[in-house]
């Protein structure tokens, strides 16, 4: 094993190592973070935290689904509105969930719907929550958290 692999699996008994432990060295943390953004929970799944991964995926997808049911809006950058950039980044945080809703299904919220503002908040919250899960995956991959 290389020194990077030793650090990646330090303190983990050989019989309890998971396939995620094979991701070694400098690529472990960035790969986990990229996967965590792309598909909610995937970073944790690759790092061997299967239960957490499934729970986190369900929470982010449920949050986005509630936002859709309430007819919330997926944000996009608007000219002369600097806050729309922040809102768009929040919406994009949910990764493939956002991309599927916007580009595959063509989802658009309805501003006249009773739950429009709440729905938009749920969609943004799904993205922000997923960004927090990306940071959590980074901490786990770097050995800062178990």
pTM of the model: 0.80
Q: What is the DSSP letter of 16?
A: G
Q: What are phi and psi of 46, to 5 degrees?
A: -65, -30
Predicted local distance difference test score (pLDDT) of residue 38: 96
CA distance 132 to 13: 29
Q: What is the DSSP letter of 41?
A: T
Predicted local distance difference test score (pLDDT) of residue 65: 97
Residue 131: Cβ-neighbour burial (10 angstroms; 0-12, 13-18, 19+): middle
Q: pLDDT tens digits, residue range 25-72?
A: 678 889 999 999 999 999 999 999 999 999 999 999 999 999 999 999
Q: pLDDT tens digits, residue range 100-140?
A: 999 999 999 999 999 999 999 999 999 999 999 999 999 99
Q: Taking a C-beta distance cutoff of 8 angstroms, is the pair 68, 98 a contact?
A: no
* Residue 73 scores a pLDDT above 60: yes
CA distance 122 to 66: 7
């Amino acid at each position: 094993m290389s020194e990077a692999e030793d650090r990646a699996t330090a303190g983990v008994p050989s019989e309890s190592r998971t396939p995620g432990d094979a991701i070694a060295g400098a690529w472990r943390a960035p790969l986990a973070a990229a996967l965590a953004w792309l598909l909610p929970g995937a970073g944790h799944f690759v790092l061997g935290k299967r239960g957490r991964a499934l729970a986190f995926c369900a929470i982010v997808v449920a949050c986005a689904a509630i936002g859709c049911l309430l007819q919330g809006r997926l944000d996009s950058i608007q000219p002369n509105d600097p806050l729309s950039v922040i809102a768009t980044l929040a919406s994009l945080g949910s990764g493939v969930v956002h991309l599927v809703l916007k580009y595959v299904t063509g989802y658009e919220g309805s501003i006249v719907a009773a739950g429009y503002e709440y729905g938009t908040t749920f969609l943004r919250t799904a993205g922000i929550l997923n960004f927090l899960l990306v940071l959590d995956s980074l901490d786990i991959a770097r050995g800062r958290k178990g």
